[in-house]
Structure 1
């Protein structure tokens, strides 16, 4: 079931722990798909260009076990949402964001994005093919009578082939293929919370501010990484002697994600070429200051320890008193109230890109 959100109202409600924020910007027909969601518990933490295809693939499958989060978690394990041949080609010859062998893609692939060719490198074609194959495998898993989570059985079939699931009458054990399939299943199921609710923001409308907010929202659930992220998306962070540590360990260097300004830089690219740090982003936009009473979705918010030279955090206003932000090491990109996103006493001001 899909819900299309119209314009003009900004309403927030708490329903079964799922926060739904409707940002009041003008809806255009071209952007209608961006204001859709499914009954699968919400989808977060995925790039904007993948979101609509994941939702469509989920909608096309009648199996209850299929959810947007399951497809997203599988894509993360397969390719980290990469789409270039350099980063999304495996040693075994699997290609594209859904890591299909060309022979397998020939069975499941269609020209779903309507660009005149069927390609495992096209996001739409790849994700819809992934959905078709997983939907078929879920049906097989449910009718097989094999023990275990049917999602795990289907994932094992995707990774190793359904014949291996039949051979072992379940998910292949750790002794098979050095545990590749066993670990594949366990990892994807463990990633599910990262890509499903509770936080879901629907952004409808067009324009640079709405587009930037939509991109940032698509990354809710992505890990925080000090120094991570930029115009091209999340990246591995680093530790600088003070930042990037958790319980004494440098976690940023092994985490692919965003810090606060990396998220903002990504959200506004390529339409706005913002500098890398929060302080520099303030400097680049300070001539367009906005009072707190006049905030609009897509505005930038800044926090400081004292003056423009001490700005340490930036977030994007999401409407209805909320922000989208990458808060700190150990947390994920999130939706948070403006009043508690950072210490209220440190709020410095807002600007418009």
Structure 2
């Protein structure tokens, strides 16, 4: 958020260079006594007063690249969750825990916490504004076609302004502003895992071949939201509701959420080397001639669950160490989970190898 004023970009870069250099070399792992580490909602290691606002900001955004850990890592980089004027005012005038410049705050700031004032110093106001701005940037990034991925592009836009992303047709290079924006993006992406709750922390993926390759590809979608009927071999997409599935709190969530369902994620993971069909039942039909015993599972194997009538309702990728990588259900995200608890154990049908 420091490089909003293009005319002083070079000066700002020089001012911030020492700060960036220190942070890149030393990442402070101290945590405050009031942090929560239960991992609920795919989030851990943030101060309690920030937690509900990060989760709300994430829930309000339907972009699949948005996750609580992304917002938390960004807040850590911006302010280390500091909220006082002395600790959270930058040398160029950015204010509050999300480091908004006054002009940018005028666009994104709202009285989100309902206390009667609209302030970048209020945690709720700041985090919701951060989430709204990042959601908009993620949407622009996904539509831009620029390389680097939507998270990196959105972070660059937050730091330097979307105009700079358009100028460089991607994340500005290290030569821009002495590497401030480049380092900002890299550091946040590299520290996201610190704030990811246990349900999103990947196991070690090893080996070579079609299965491990598919698993690694699917792991890039960890944290992306579930959308019933959503997802194609090209990427996440909005889904649909069918009268039973896709609803959340009485509303059709799938039609407004870009993401994955269980079988589209599996299809995407193996595409194009192995072109699996679209649904879990069809994927079982296409691979059932290659069954795998539970004791012989390898990374990338397909695991299936069926109900009492025999309908196959879920598929997941075996991730190793007794865990699966899957898109579980509406309201959840792509995650790593125990094979025994991912779905009802009594419904486990078996595994196949594509």
TM range (shorter): 0.5 to 0.7
Structure 2 stretches lacking a partner, 5+ long: 1-23, 26-36, 40-63, 81-129, 186-190
Per-residue displacement from partner, 1:259-291 (whole Å, max 9, x unpaired)? Answer: 100111111111111111000000011111100
Corresponding residue for residue 209 of structure 2: 207
What 5-or-longer segments of structure 1 have no aligned partner?
3-15, 19-44, 48-53, 89-94, 110-119, 121-125, 140-150, 155-191
Q: Which residue of 1 aligns with 2:145?
A: 84
Once the two structures are superposed, residues 155-211 of structure 1 have per-residue CA deviations (whole angstroms, 9 ceiling, x without a partner) of xxxxxxxxxxxxxxxxxxxxxxxxxxxxxxxxxxxxx98995123324244322112
Residue 280 of structure 1 aligns to a residue in which SS?
helix
Seen in structure 2, the aligned counterparts of structure 1 residues 251 and 74 have a Cα distance that, compared at 3 Å, is: closer
| 1:267-323 CA-partner distances (Å, limit 9, x unpaired) | 11111111110000000111111001100110000000147x510000000000000
SS in 2 for 1:231: coil
Q: Any idea what SS the aligned residue of 2:171 has?
A: helix
Q: For 1:1-353, what aligned pairs fall within 5 Å after superposition?
A: 64-65=77-78, 77-79=138-140, 81-82=142-143, 84=145, 104=164, 109=168, 120=169, 126-127=170-171, 129=173, 136=180, 196-198=195-197, 199-201=200-202, 202-306=204-308, 310-353=311-354
> Following the alignment from structure 1 to structure 2, what is the Cα–Cα distance between the partners of residues 274 and 343?
25
Give the CA RMSD over aligned residues.
4.7
SS for the counterpart of 2:283 is helix
Contact kept in structure 2, 1:292 and 1:350, CA below 8 Å: yes
For the residues of structure 2 that align with 1:279 and 1:193, how far apart are their CA atoms?
35
TM-score normalized by the length of structure 1 = 0.53
Tell me: CA distance 1:278–1:318, structure 2 relative to 1, closer, same or farther (3 Å): same
Query: Is the 8 Å Cα contact of residues 138 and 154 (structure 2) preserved in structure 1?
Result: no
Cα distance 1:104–1:250, how it changes in 2: closer, same or farther (>3 A)?
A: closer
1:229-254 alpha-carbon deviations (Å, 9 max, x no partner): 02111100100111101122111111
